[in-house]
Structure 1
Amino acid sequence: MKNYNQSFWVAGSASMIRSFGIGSTWPFLAIFFEVNLHVPILYVGAIFTAIAAVSMLFSLVGGTLGDLLGRRKTIMLGSALGFLTYFTVYLFVIGNVMALYIAIIFILSSISGSLTFPATSAIVADVTTIDNRREGYSIYRILTNLGWAVGPVLGSFLYSSGVGNIFLFSSITLLLQLLIVLLFLKETHKTEKRDVREKKQYVSFDRFLIIFSIGTFFMTVVSSQFSVTFPSYAVLRGNILPYEIGYIYAVNGIVVVLGQFPTTRITRKISDLVSMELGMIFYSAGYLLSAFSSSLSAFIIDMIIITIGENLSSPGISSIVSKIAPREKVARYNGFNSMVNNVGRAIGPSVGTFFMFIFNYNGLRLWASLDMFGVFSIILFSLFGRSVKGTKNNLVNEHI
């Protein structure tokens, strides 16, 4: 723990505060649109697709700003936008504004995360070495998921007391994130002065980055069922009450907080890539098992398996991207990968709700079809690994 400086802990703590709010809101969004606002399930999937599409467009912007403007200022900008949009959603909900306008503002709220994530991810790379980078990202994930351990349970209470309260609480946590970064975070990236006439390169088309990102795209299509398909299926076919969704998602946060660091230590002798392939297997198994679940305890077991997959795979994504990136382009490489993953998040909910519709909520057909994307991701990761081994960059080879 002594290997990480103040900026690492401030960035992680600020993200943790943010996750308390997002964790109290996100598990209930699909139910909020479908049950409270009476939006048809296919349109709910379209809303989440639009959220991810906006995130995709602004991920490159966030990565570029993180490198050129600085990590600190970029995070502050993202936090400010998040506060404004979530507070506006709260006002719209208590004012009974029509669902279309609520959906539009919520879609725009995704810009906040697109600006914040590449910059915070780059801070971890800035203050770690190649040897301890995966551990650094694991600790960072534990901090951010503390909010996910508590947020969903708090969200269950807020949802029951008035659904608008979850958006008010989220806006408050985003404001707190802004204040923490403003007052305590020191810049970790030395920005270079550039000629104003110099063309700004938003992304370098590195073939290793592209192959790897296509693999994470397919992984994200599967993991993104977490946001719409999984909770909708659990409520509509799994005999789960809406407020119980919060308990299932709280388990996700708890398993990350308690299991991420031991998982990283246990798998430290295997490569980031193998860990991600194992994670994809657990993801697929957890979702497939939900086809046979019809009680809260069964869905909690499914979530534990899914989260083990998350613990195995998530730290490796940022770790690998930062290892293949030139030091002056770490945020941009993370931004590009984030953009590609957001394409997966854009497609995932629509694919999941479409399969749910055409299979008439048949769980086995639904989850088996979605798991095929996981098979594609493992194939791409294997191709990436072979491509990297064929290079002369021994330093990268040893750590991927």
Structure 2
Amino acid sequence: MKLSVVIVNYNVKYYLEQCLCSLYRAIDNLSVEILVVDNASMDDSEAYITERFPNITYIYNRENLGFACANNQAIRESKGEYVLLLNPDTVLSEQTLEEVILFMDAHPEAGAAGVKMITHDGRFLRESKRGYPTLAATFGKLSGLGRLFPHSKSLGGYYCTALDMDGVHQVEVLAGAFMLLRRSALDKTGLLDENFFMYGEDIDLSCRIEEAGYQNYYLPYPILHYKGESTSKDTYRHVRVFCEAMDIFFCKHGERYGVIGRWLVRAGIHLQMCVRLFVLFVQRLFSFPVKEMKTSFQRGERFPRFLVFGEEATIHSLRVLLKRNGLSEKHHFVVSNEMSAVDGHGSPFISLKGFTHVVYDCRAFSFSTIIRLLSHHRKMGLSLGIYNPESRVLVTPDKCYI
């Protein structure tokens, strides 16, 4: 068995379905097993997913055991030479896995590899490549100086902003949303630390991989990451869990910072938690808009407006779906596929005025083409929607329409 793919699901069955659709297209030439661990989802994920993907191993937990524990459950059952930790709110290009495995096969010193992740509107996700949260890097991140001095290896070190996003780089920290691990390296480091309920476990594992004598690599192969559809970012619980995870990491690996450095960083973490909790309290108290508002409402639209590319039959079923969901805005439909619409929504013959989303039919367009078009035309600011004509589900970062 060449590869074991491990996905932890929590109440995101439509994102998971889309992730699995892209995954199956990416494993045609590989020997792969897929293991899904469900952390007590309440959206009927198990029945929905196993009916559509009967060949996967589906493990259902009766309580939410956390990200690290759930991954470890599947890793213990897995048999692959490599183990891929993958988030359910990701979409892979058809070539991604083969390219990453070819790199790993050619570089035995590589213990783990991550990839270039892009958001739902085509922006590069800085979490794709990171450094250890040193004093300077942490200060640069919290103060915003890392953005002002992106070429500074110290202040911009948290997100390795000095490194080209389109190059191959040795980095210190990889993201758990896509982390391909060499089995032999994992045998030396041990599994994910289950003291981390959510967040921080990827930093800890990256650190232990390097301590075991291996290297972590960032590879510029693009995937889509809706980023956090499994979790809500604007909640008291998220802020508390995230800051507690960072505190656990510094308690565990604090020797590299010295006594004073560790004290300063931990004090900064607790101060950040108090400030963010206070901001959330004020937002709730006065009904201020939160940071991550839906794209359609940011633009002053009452409802989203879709620019749709797809086959004629797909467009017909999508019209029915939109009408059923009360979306009677002036959408625009383009009968096309990736051969006839090479530039997609970047075509000079299409006006984007008033649209909030671009929607692609995943039967008419490959996932690699969809990701390429989204990344290439990221300055146009449209959010991505992907329509699956087989399940008749439209997945967007805001909502899934059925």
Structure with the higher fraction of residues in helix conformation: 1
Larger Rg: 2
Band the TM-score falls in, shorter-chain normalisation: under 0.3
Pick the structure with more strand per residue.
2
Q: Which has the higher contact order (CA 8 A, sep 6+)?
A: 1
| TM-score of the aligned structures, taking structure 1 as reference length | 0.25
